[in-house]
Structure 1
């Protein structure tokens, strides 16, 4: 399959993630949209590594190892982020990000 399909899919996923972050007020939905953007970047990196490996420019495993490390960091981000969201919910009984102004007091 041509690499342009992967590029268009990655751009579409990234744009959906950006729209979700900008439009939604629920912290869990925003968190999922950030993860969607990270996965769009991962898809693009793997597509480019495949394209460059077919052209003989780089080793195919180089970008894929980089994607693996991004996934590890994203998993750690999920653990920390969900813990923060749970603690905010325990204090405010809501995951609406507009209510987070209460935490200043």
Structure 2
């Protein structure tokens, strides 16, 4: 397969994730859309790494996936803490996090 297909798929996934972050108000859905955007970036890195015949991009993708997993753990921890305190799970109504 050509690299163009992977880059088009990556751009499409990134666009869908970006639209989800902008449009949706549920923090869990926003986290999922952020993960979709990170995965799209990782796919583009893998495509360029494959094209150049270099292994550095694959190592960087592994690091990106580890950071994304840590982001999900922290984000879901915040959502669970908000749910237990009976706070609204709407991003527009979150006023207690402001300093």
Taking structure 2 as the reference length, the TM-score comes to: 0.92
Deviation at 1:92, TM superposition (A): 3.2
Superposition RMSD in Å: 1.5
Distance 1:103 1:2 in 2: 46
Does the 8 Å contact 1:25/1:97 carry over to 2? Answer: yes
The residue that corresponds to 2:86 in the other structure is 92
Q: Do the aligned partners of residues 37 and 104 (structure 1) sit closer, same or farther apart at CA in structure 2, a change above 3 Å counting?
A: closer
- What is the DSSP-based 3-state SS (H/G/I as helix, E as strand, rest coil) of the residue aligned with 1:95? coil
Structure 1 gap segments, 5+ residues each: 54-59
TM-score normalised by L of structure 1:
0.87
Unmatched tracts of structure 2, length 5 or more: none
Equivalent position of 2:23 in the other structure: 23
Q: Which has the higher helix share?
A: 1
What CA distance in whole angstroms lies between the structure 2 residues aligned with 1:27 and 1:75? 16
Structure 2 distance, partners of 1:97, 1:84, is 12
Count matched residues. 99
- Specify the alignment match of 1:56 in structure 2: none
